Amino acid sequence: MSRLFPSLVEVAPLRAVLLREFRDALINRYFQVFSVLSLLGGAAAFVLSEDTHSIAFLILQVSLYFVSLFALLAGASSAQAEREEWQMLFAQPVPRAAYIIGKFIAYLSIFSAVLVLLFLPGLVAGSGAQRIAMLYLQTLLLAAAFLAVGLAAGFLAHDRAQALIAGVSAWLLFLFGFDLVALFAARWDFVQKFPDLWVGLLMLNPLDSFRIEALFALEQIPAEAANKTPLASWWIGHAGLWFSMVAAFWTVALVALAGLRLNRWEE
């Protein structure tokens, strides 16, 4: 790890990278579209929902689909935007990992600000400050994980088209792929004998973990659904903790993968 992310002690270069990445995030088209969608989504939740409970549920759906997708697209396009500049960038006395860490911090910081647009109407409508705050933090964790997916796809791919295809494929895999595999696996005798394997597969998926955590938090699922297997029972009992761990795992693993790729990059 120390070889991958060498000493980042010099402040001036890191500050320069951070400022550049903040600027890059502000002019990123996916990010601009996401900001507008967040504002519209927040307003729609406020205007169209019949009660405070359904406001939170609508925000959850926006978070599940749009936040994950746009975080991924913003990450992938950002990684590719300066690909042609790598020769100039990597000839500078800065660890290559600084560019990834800078991107991640800048994008996540701006995401955290833009997400307020989505959640503020719910707060104003009186959906429960604590519930909305929890959902906001969970959504931010989800954004971090999918930003990391996007960065990894962007840095691993050879061009912009390849990055977008890889990124969207990864998003579909998390959104549908895990569930489809689980659906087919449910027919196998072996899995029926050890149903925790089936549960474990879903637990590894940050989107499923987010869904379970948020849905239970919003009381959209009856509590008795939690008692099907021991692992499922544990999962439901610690859904928030588990989601935080899964999101952190994917984030760190994918940022490290992108760092490894950049460290080994040769023209």
Partner 1 sequence: MIAVEALTKSYGRNLVLRGMTFNAAPREITLLVGANGAGKSTTMKVLAGLIRPQKGSAHINRIDIVDQRIAAQRSLAYLPQRPSFHPRMTCAEILRFYARLRAVAASRYEAVIDLAGLREFERVRTSALSGGTRQRLGLALLLLPDAPVLLLDEPGLSLDPGWRQRLQDTLRFEAERGKTVLVTTHLVREWNNVAHRCLLCRDGKIERELDPTNLPHNFDEMEQVAPDAHKRSTINEPPFSIVG
Which positions lie near partner 1, rule CB under 8 A? 6, 12-13, 15-17, 19-20, 23-24, 27, 81-82, 84-85, 87-88, 90-95, 266-267
Nearest CB to partner 1, comparing residues 10 and 219: 10
Minimum separation from the CB atom of position 25 to partner 1 (A):
11
Minimum separation from the CB atom of position 24 to partner 1 (A):
7
Minimum separation from the CB atom of position 73 to partner 1 (A):
16
Asked if 9 and 66 touch (Cβ cutoff 8 Å), the reply is: no
Locate 216 and state its tokens: 């239970």
Nearest CB to partner 1, comparing residues 52 and 263: 263
Minimum separation from the CB atom of position 63 to partner 1 (A):
28
Nearest CB to partner 1, comparing residues 82 and 179: 82
Nearest CA to 131 among 199, 55, 66? 55
Asked if 125 and 55 touch (Cβ cutoff 8 Å), the reply is: yes
Alpha carbons 115 and 72: distance in angstroms, whole number: 15
Buried b (16+ CB within 10 A) or exposed e, 144-177: bbbbbbbbbbbbbbeeeeebbebbbebbeebbee
Minimum separation from the CB atom of position 31 to partner 1 (A):
12
Task: Using alpha carbons, list the distances in angstroms from residue 191 to 110, 175, 181, 184.
Answer: 43, 21, 12, 10
Nearest CB to partner 1, comparing residues 54 and 109: 109
Nearest CB to partner 1, comparing residues 99 and 235: 99
Asked if 258 and 156 touch (Cβ cutoff 8 Å), the reply is: yes
Minimum separation from the CB atom of position 10 to partner 1 (A):
9
Nearest CB to partner 1, comparing residues 81 and 248: 81
Alpha carbons 21 and 98: distance in angstroms, whole number: 11
